[in-house]
A and B are shown apart, each in its own frame.
Chain A
């Protein structure tokens, strides 16, 4: 129920503010304490380096017994992220554990940027490109990062 905000969420929010995760910003919405505006820095030595990616994160009513819903708002060329920004990541699905937190989820997503997995694709055309011509795929990912994820 939206009644009282569960202490778990309050606690996580406080900690995110006090000890921000390097390379990641997660701020609760002013009007909805279950909705977070997230910015993830593209990991260095990845095609997403120097990009800043905007995501939305929502804590459903069952949280932490069910996983947060996370989605990329910035366009990204990645075999495990589709056009709607949806992410294919096991810990957001069946491998969710209530001991995971907003910060660990976001770190995992950042790690996914460092280690794309074209064998388990969400975006099939991207994955195909990744498998058949990796250097071209990386080039495209870099180009998209420059076009969509770089703030002039």
Chain B
């Protein structure tokens, strides 16, 4: 969506060149004390402030700066020499370029090691670090990309994901490097240059193009999508090509379309073809061949969400959903997961670890569902409560906290609390059926692959006793289909008297609609916010004054998560409720209103569903356990599709704030306990619901 912005950029550019405007802004910023400065020297604090979340179980690392510090310290081994500060990492200059053969073997080594990366604490593999070093020069970067295309074998289910992973951490390519790469590949309607003709190379190069398009979204993505590249990818969409090439060409086009100039180009090109190749490919979505089915899924998703075609109705409009009473919850899913119009199949093509829960909650009894494995890569499929968080960018999903457990058939492990134990099943493959049985009353969970059972698991019940949902997480290019009982099960466990979701669930016809993403966001953007909203969350009424600084504009939920005033950074000693008269509040207000406070002047009615979420500030797992205990009684009220009121978790922070006063202005001695405040808050939430 960048193209429309270029016009604005040029226009505003002139304004910016007006020094007065600029100085005014700088002065304002300085007054507010928010002019940033470099913090590198405070490395110890920065590190300790970012706890375990920064490492991840899938070998991904956050885009957050500084995190690669330890990598460079350990990674310099044979390839490089000194650097003055290991903390700043990545500054080591590569003085000798490894031969292409070495690069290729490093790529293969990374691929073989990635599968074994199951511990959050360990360093990224040496091979990967070395590749990132090599990619720091332009020729090195070209070598790495070339080796990725030629070395990654077709068979390894992690191959495409490893391309994504490796590129994600490589230094950014220059425009020259991109042009050079394009030239080397020699793409055209008739295929790539000779060294890349092989099917496997073509698959890898499509994956690579897609990754680059995503990574470089914006002008460089436009540079990459030359007429030749576009023609190559579009010509691959014909059924005469191997499915794997069709699939990754389609995904690459989808990623190019993240830049809106490209989106227009691609859409135009598709529309000019008769028939539109996507409409042809769409028919494959229920094909028996799983690779073709992936193609069909992606084609249909693109037609519904991205390259919409005039005269074609959205898939959900044609879907018979009368027998489906439980789906994947399109309101309880991380951003990039794609859900099919029947709400039962999901796929991830992003580089993040995408997760979803189903719409139906179980609190007692024995329950069973099945999943058809469409792709053989990393997915973590299992059970989760609403307390389980989807930290897709950090690489955490189902099985990565105390509130969820998951089966991983690729790395052959059972995940719980972000740790895993090996299991005895062989690697899963497309078409395999994973059976998941949950016996709440006897506190056991059983996973079975094609009817072959593993020993029962009990860990999940340490922290959770009820409120379970079917749930799953997906690494890049992974897909599976859920059966909650609308179709007959393949391997129903005969010795268990189980229930299936679909018999007990209910969804209104509105709830069954998987609305295309762009429509959903358009609706969201029309939401209006109340005038006296909290300036931090805009969800609740701003009714507190912070002492001693006297700043206002915050609700109790937000204020309880703060130790210092967000405006002046003064320590907060007390949070007092104001008696709702704006005049009075203003009189207390002793410091100039910040630019931010102006936000509360927006007018209009309030129409969004209630309970926008404030996540717990301490994402520390230990704290979350406490939160869970306090809020467990609320689980009873939770309807199965409600995904909003899950984590109103201010009590973790509240423990640091012993002297919360309610109506302190009237009577300072009336100090309430945290529990009372919780109840008030719950009551307030209920009010806002009704």
Q: Are A123 and B2 in contact (CB under 8 A)?
A: no
Q: Report the separation of the CA atoms of residues A94 and B141 in the bound assembly, to the nearest whole angstrom.
A: 34
Total A-B residue pairs with C-beta atoms closer than 8 Å? 293
Shortest A76–chain B CB gap in Å is: 10
Would you call B6 an interface residue if the criterion is a C-beta within 8 Å of the partner chain's C-beta atoms? yes
Interface residues on B, range: 35 or more
Instruction: Choose from A3, A15, A64, A105 the contact partner of B331 (Cβ within 8 Å).
Output: A3
A interface residue count range (under 10 / 10 to 19 / 20 to 34 / 35 or more):
35 or more
Q: Decide: B38 and A61 in contact? CB cutoff 8 A.
A: no
Q: Is the CB of B536 within 8 A of A44?
A: no
Contacting A at CB under 8 A, from B389-440, are: 389-391, 393
Whole-angstrom CA separation of A125 from B82 in the bound complex: 12
B-facing mask of A98-129, CB < 8 A → 1, else 0?
A: 11110011011101101001001111110000
- Chain B hits for A1, CB < 8 A: 332, 389-390, 613, 615, 643, 646-647
B38 adjacent to A101 (CB under 8 Å): no
Given contacts A23-B12, A83-B172, contact A32 B336 (CB under 8 A): yes
A28-69, CB under 8 A of B: which get 1 and which 0? 111111110101010111000000101010101110111001
12 pairs, CB–CB < 8 Å, chain A vs chain B: A6-B538, A7-B533, A11-B529, A22-B22, A31-B518, A54-B217, A61-B389, A84-B169, A90-B39, A97-B34, A104-B34, A122-B65
Main secondary structure, interface of A, reads loop
Is A91 in contact with B36, judged by CB distance below 8 angstroms? yes
CB <8 Å contact, A82 and B65: yes
Q: Chain B interface secondary structure, helix, strand, loop or mixed?
A: loop
A28/B1 in contact, CB under 8 A: yes
A36 to B, closest residue via Cβ = B1
Q: Which residues of A contact B145 (CB under 8 A)?
A: none
Q: Which A residues are within 8 Å of any B CB, using their own CB?
A: 1-8, 10-11, 13-15, 20-25, 27-35, 37, 39, 41, 43-45, 52, 54, 56, 58, 60-62, 64-66, 69, 71, 73-75, 80, 82-95, 97-101, 104-105, 107-109, 111-112, 114, 117, 120-125, 147-148, 151
Of A54, A92, A124, the contact of B219 (CB 8 Å cutoff): A54
Bound form: Cα–Cα A104–B538 in Å: 18
Which B454-471 residues have C-beta < 8 A from chain A? Answer: none
A117 touches B37 (CB 8 A): yes
Q: Tell me which residues across on chain B come within 8 A of A105, comparing CB atoms.
A: 36
Min CB–CB distance A92 → chain B (angstroms): 7
Q: B36 is contacted by which of A44, A54, A92 (Cβ under 8 Å)?
A: A92
B5, B9, B613: the one contacting A6 at CB < 8 Å is B613
| A86 contacts B172, C-beta separation under 8 Å | no
Q: B39 and A93: CB pair below 8 A?
A: yes
Q: Which of B9, B19, B393 contacts A58 (CB 8 A)?
A: B393
Give me the 6 closest cross-chain CB pairs, A-B, nearest first. A23-B16, A86-B65, A120-B38, A99-B566, A91-B36, A7-B538
Known A24-B12, A43-B16, A89-B36; further 8 A-B contacts with Cβ < 8 A: A1-B613, A1-B647, A10-B524, A10-B529, A86-B65, A109-B36, A120-B38, A125-B93
Within residues 49 to 87 of chain B, which ones have a CB less than 8 A from any CB in chain A?
Answer: 49, 62-66, 68, 83-85
Q: Which residue of B lies closest to A33 (CB)?
A: B521
0/1 interface trace, chain B 598-622, chain A, CB 8 Å (1 if under): 0100100000110111110101000
Instruction: Give residues of chain B (565-610) contacting chain A, Cβ–Cβ below 8 Å.
Output: 566-567, 569, 594-596, 599, 602, 608-609
Q: Does B174 contact A (CB under 8 A)?
A: yes
Q: Which of A23, A58, A94 has the most CB of B within 10 A?
A: A23
A104 to chain B: which residues have CB within 8 Å? 29, 32, 34, 595-596
- What is the minimal beta-carbon distance from A17 to any residue of chain B, in angstroms? 8
Instruction: Give CA–CA (A117, B41) in the complex, Å.
Output: 12
- With a cutoff of 8 Å between Cβ atoms, the chain B residues found around residue A23 in the complex are 12-13, 15-16, 22
Among A8, A31, A45, A94, the residue within 8 A (CB) of B538 is A8
CA distance A82 to B40 in the complex (A): 12
Shortest CB-to-CB span from A124 to chain B, Å, is 4
Q: Give Cα distance in the complex from A109 to B36, angstroms.
A: 8
Among B38, B539, B617, contact of A65 (Cβ-Cβ < 8 Å): B617
B605 to chain A, nearest CB (A): 13
Tell me the chain B residues, 495-545 only, with Cβ under 8 Å from chain A: 517-518, 521, 524-525, 527, 529, 533, 535-539
Are the CB atoms of A14 and B525 closer together than 8 Å?
yes
Bound Cα distance from A131 to B108, whole angstroms: 41
Q: B104 near A: Cβ within 8 Å?
A: no
Q: Which residue of A lies closest to B7 (CB)?
A: A25
Instruction: Give every chain B residue within 8 A of A73 (Cβ-Cβ).
Output: 172, 215-218, 220
